[in-house]
């Protein structure tokens, strides 16, 4: 992955409006920033719109960039904020329910299903390389409001208060959404990984080595 050899020089060039500096930002950071936008809005066309708007916002605000954070971090945050603004335009539609993905209970209060780590943060689950792509795919299937809270808290590692401010929610609402999003994600992961785990158990019982 290409990196900038002299970020300070690049920042100076950006502030001076030099064309090569803008082209460098797009070339070096564009792919990663587009992936960030795609994570939030899911649609490729919307992600491209978000990225273009974020570039404009960043370039206009370049004079105020003080270098207290890396340029890539600053750009990343602008993309996330732009994606959140894009998502707000979708709120006219009723929010999709995730009740079918939440744990169900028996009359005695016990879970109908027996499972573990149902509330593990997404970043912890993603540490397992073999499940990383599956986790990303399952996060993509969550409704906007739940997926966004999960991404901001577990992936971006923003504070509850910051997420509340960004999403215009109370901190209590953020905590509830995060809890439910983790439960729903766990359900989706069990659905995706169960056949793989069952196959592994069969191979182990038969003495066959798997990959």
Residues of the chain with CATH 1.10.10.10: 99-205
* 3-26 pLDDT, tens digit each: 677 899 999 999 999 999 999 999
Q: Which residue has the higher pLDDT, 195 or 61?
A: 61
pLDDT at 66: 87
* pLDDT at 125 > cutoff 50: yes
- For residue 105, what are the β-bridge partners? 111
pLDDT confidence tier of residue 169, bands split at 50, 70 and 90: very high
- Which pTM value belongs to this model? 0.75
If one looks up domain 99-205 in CATH, what number appears? 1.10.10.10
CA-nearest of 51, 86, 196 to 133 is: 196
In order of 33, 134, 192, the CA distances from 73 in angstroms are 10, 26, 33
In order of 129, 136, 138, 187, the CA distances from 104 in angstroms are 30, 24, 20, 11
Q: Which range among 88-92, 117-121, 204-208 shows the weakest confidence by mean pLDDT?
A: 204-208
* pLDDT at 173 > cutoff 50: yes
Residues of the chain with CATH 1.10.1740.10: 7-88
Record: fold of 7-88: Rna Polymerase Sigma Factor; Chain: A (1.10.1740)
Mean pLDDT (the chain) is: 82
């Amino acid at each position: 992955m290409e990196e900038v050899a002299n970020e300070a020089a690049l920042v100076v060039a950006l502030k001076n409006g030099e064309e090569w500096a803008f082209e460098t930002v797009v070339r070096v950071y564009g792919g990663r920033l587009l992936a960030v936008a795609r994570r939030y809005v899911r649609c490729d066309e919307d992600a491209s719109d978000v990225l273009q708007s974020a570039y404009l916002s960043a370039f206009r605000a370049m004079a105020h960039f003080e270098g207290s954070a890396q340029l890539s971090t600053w750009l990343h945050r602008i993309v996330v904020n732009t994606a959140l603004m894009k998502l707000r335009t979708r709120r006219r539609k009723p929010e999709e329910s995730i009740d079918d993905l939440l744990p169900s209970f028996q009359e005695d209060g016990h879970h109908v299903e027996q499972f573990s780590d149902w509330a593990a943060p997404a970043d912890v689950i993603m540490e397992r390389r073999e499940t990383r792509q599956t986790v990303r795919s399952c996060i993509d299937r969550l409704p906007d409001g739940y997926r966004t809270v999960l991404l901001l808290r577990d992936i971006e590692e923003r504070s509850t208060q910051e997420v509340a401010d960004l999403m215009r929610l109370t901190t209590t609402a953020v905590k509830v959404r995060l809890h439910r999003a983790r439960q729903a994600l766990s359900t989706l992961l069990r659905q995706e990984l169960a056949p793989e785990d069952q196959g592994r158990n069969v191979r182990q019982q038969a003495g066959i080595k798997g990959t």
